């Protein structure tokens, strides 16, 4: 822990790359932990299949049923790890957060430079007229959510399996990763591409991993902290 504090104290341009494990302490299940969504029974389908582009188009009612029950947590609050990153940005020591998360908690904690490469459940758009809707449109509807204006399907701005990640978020994310001196990778299994390969843009001084389980970049890291992100970040000071 004191090693991590020393790394952060000596860094001027930190970037944090986060995944679902960053939000489990906020009560949002991840995919691959023992109690994550992959452990559930979904009528023989994997969450990856249900959250895919083809399933969305072929079975929109089943997609929205799963999405409503498992991906929307409007009452979840940022945890100590989110709050630490917000404080680090306020102190002008954090260049940005690159997140695979769709829960919007980094922004809610106060971070401004957040690259949501897989989108956000807080933004939803009519597929026909592009009208914007908040998550309540999905939560408070039954079956397929529809647009008030034109009756089109309201689709979450969430990158489904089989869809390309958001181009502009990815461009910003790669720019920040390639320009930082310290990259902290936290709460991710690094099993989703092309997100995981973005780490190849890093050529700064220190790669740090904070995760409950081993990851594929541990061997490249200057420091690996095995533990709960909320506890680990919660003990750090800016």
Catalytic residue ranges: 118
User: Which range touches Zn ion (CB under 5 A), out of 133-141, 145-153, 195-203, 219-227?
Assistant: 145-153
Residue 179 bridge partners (DSSP): none
Contacts of the segment 106-114: beta carbons below 8 A, 24+ positions apart: 106/18, 106/78, 106/82, 108/77, 108/78, 108/82, 109/78, 109/82, 109/83, 109/85, 110/83, 110/86, 111/82, 111/85, 111/86, 113/89, 113/176
Q: Cβ 44 to ligand NAD, closest distance in Å?
A: 20
Residue 43 bridge partners (DSSP): none
Separation between Cα atoms, residue 136 and residue 40, nearest integer Å = 25
Position with the least CB separation from ligand NAD: 21
**Considering beta carbons, is residue 72 or 147 the nearer one to ligand NAD?**
72
Indicate which of ligand NAD, Zn ion, none lies near residue 202 (CB less than 5 to 8 Å, by partner kind): none
**Candidate residues 53, 149, 203, 220; the one interacting with Zn ion per rule CB under 5 A:** 149
For Zn ion, what does the binding mask look like between residues 70 and 109, x meaning CB under 5 A?
Answer: ----------------------------------------
Residue 150 is a binding residue for Zn ion (CB under 5 A): yes
**Considering beta carbons, is residue 31 or 133 the nearer one to ligand NAD?**
31
**Candidate residues 1, 10, 129, 222; the one interacting with Zn ion per rule CB under 5 A:** 129
Separation between Cα atoms, residue 101 and residue 19, nearest integer Å = 6
**Candidate residues 98, 105, 126, 160; the one interacting with Zn ion per rule CB under 5 A:** 126
**Considering beta carbons, is residue 118 or 137 the nearer one to ligand NAD?**
118
The site for ligand NAD (CB under 6 A) is made up of 19-21, 23-25, 28, 30-33, 36, 100-103, 118, 187-189, 191-192, 211-213, 228-229
Indicate which of Zn ion, ligand NAD, none lies near residue 152 (CB less than 5 to 8 Å, by partner kind): Zn ion
Indicate which of Zn ion, ligand NAD, none lies near residue 96 (CB less than 5 to 8 Å, by partner kind): none
Residues forming contacts to Zn ion in the complex (CB under 5 A) are 126, 128-129, 131, 147, 149-150, 152
């Amino acid at each position: 822990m004191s090693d991590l504090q020393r790394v952060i104290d000596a860094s001027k341009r930190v970037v944090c790359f986060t995944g679902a494990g960053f939000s489990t302490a906020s009560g949002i299940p991840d995919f691959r932990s023992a109690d994550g969504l992959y452990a559930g029974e979904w009528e023989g389908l994997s969450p990856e299949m249900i959250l895919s582009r083809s399933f969305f188009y072929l079975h929109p009612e089943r997609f929205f049923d799963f999405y409503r029950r498992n991906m929307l947590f409007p009452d979840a609050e940022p945890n100590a790890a989110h709050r630490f990153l917000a404080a680090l940005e306020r102190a002008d020591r954090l260049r940005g957060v690159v997140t695979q998360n769709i829960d919007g908690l980094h922004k809610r904690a106060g971070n401004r430079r957040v690259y949501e490469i897989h989108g956000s459940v807080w933004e939803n758009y009519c597929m026909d007229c592009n009208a914007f809707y908040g998550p309540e449109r999905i939560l408070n509807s039954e079956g397929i959510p529809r647009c008030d204006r034109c009756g089109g399907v309201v689709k979450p701005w969430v990158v489904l399996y089989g869809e390309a990640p958001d181009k502009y978020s990815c461009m910003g994310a790669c720019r920040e990763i390639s320009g930082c001196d310290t990259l902290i990778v936290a709460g991710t299994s690094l099993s989703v591409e092309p997100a995981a390969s973005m780490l190849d843009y890093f050529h700064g001084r220190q790669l740090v991993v904070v995760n409950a389980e081993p990851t594929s970049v541990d061997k490249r890291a200057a420091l690996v902290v095995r533990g709960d992100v909320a506890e680990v970040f919660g003990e750090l000071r800016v």
